Amino acid sequence: MRGYILFAFAVALALALAWKLRDVLEIVYVSALFAVVLTPVVQQIMKINIRGWSPSRPIAIIALLATVFLGLTLFLVVGLPPVIHDVQRFALDLPERIPELVTRLKKLPMAEKFGVDSLAQRSETMLSAFASYLLASFPLWAGRILDLLTAFILCIYFMLEGEFAYYYFLSLFKDSVRDRLSRTLIVAEHRMSKWLLGQALLMLILGVVSGIVFASLHVRYFFLLAVLMGLFNIIPVAGGVFTIMLAAGVAALDSWTKMAGVFIFYAIYVQIENGYLTPRIMKTSVNLMGLSVLIALMAGLSLVGVVGALVAVPTAALVAVLMDEYMVQTQADLLQREAEAEADVGG
């Protein structure tokens, strides 16, 4: 009885400590998750053989980081100047375009009942409030940037030393349980690593297609909008809704036809992505049903916010693999149990 009481007390204390350190545990979990996702890439780099020489793990990690930084540098040199130019043009044109937009809205039926006349004044007030919000929330964003840097450093350490922590974790289990758990976690690692490739492919497809369509529609700042469409696609549902509303608003500054074209394009693309691209890309990589992905996204967004939405799909893949191995009862398992039961009865 004393042992049970002490165990219950230890569990309660551990849960209280985990709740107190929930922000730290969130950073650690996200770092470990992305380390698991990126580790297969590091292992592939380590398999490179150049005249009998293969890179070690630290060198492979440095090569991966160098490749990422090289890609970011190319984007900053080649892609960022058009983005900055579009942002500057948008900031300069917005005060002049709002009255034109109000004039167009007045021509719509029942426009007076929606208070269109005060739209320009309200827009200026909203812009001022948004600027004040950005200024007031600067410490919060600075803290988030510090969290990102911390997660980045932890991710590197997990890729360097995560293997030792993994084997230490397995050593806590018996041999029979350890082998089964190890095989299960390896399967989960493969699924989670493929998620990153699938998500990157979806982001690239949306960014390229959006740029082509927006350019053909002669939408202003199409390069900036295409970049935002691709980047924000990593945030499920909310990212797409935000960027398409922004693109439609920019298109409405010129004409309703362009705005309608933007909405039509996105409606068609969503159908293609949800009905063809995502099932084939994510099904082959993560092997999750669409309903499971949606529930995971909702749960992650509700629990942790945007960060939760980012890691929801690979976490769901991990949970699905564990459930398939330890909870799902296959026909072979049922037959084996029936045979064991009949053997016990016969004995």
* Average predicted confidence (pLDDT) for the chain: 76
pLDDT over 70 percentage in the chain:
72
Tokens linked to 55: 């890179």
Q: Which residues contact 162 (CB under 8 A, 6 or more apart)?
A: 32, 35, 36, 39
Q: How confident is the model at residue 277 (pLDDT cuts 50, 70, 90)?
A: confident
pTM of the model: 0.65
Q: Report the pLDDT value the prediction gives residue 33, as an integer from 0 to 100.
A: 83
Highest mean pLDDT range out of 234-243, 257-266, 283-292?
A: 257-266
Q: Report the pLDDT value the prediction gives residue 332, as an integer from 0 to 100.
A: 56
Q: Report the pLDDT value the prediction gives residue 335, as an integer from 0 to 100.
A: 59
Highest mean pLDDT range out of 57-66, 74-83, 105-114, 121-130?
A: 57-66
pLDDT in tens, 88-122: 776 666 666 666 666 665 565 555 555 545 555 55
pLDDT over 90 percentage in the chain:
1
Q: How confident is the model at residue 52 (pLDDT cuts 50, 70, 90)?
A: confident
Q: Report the pLDDT value the prediction gives residue 293, as an integer from 0 to 100.
A: 73
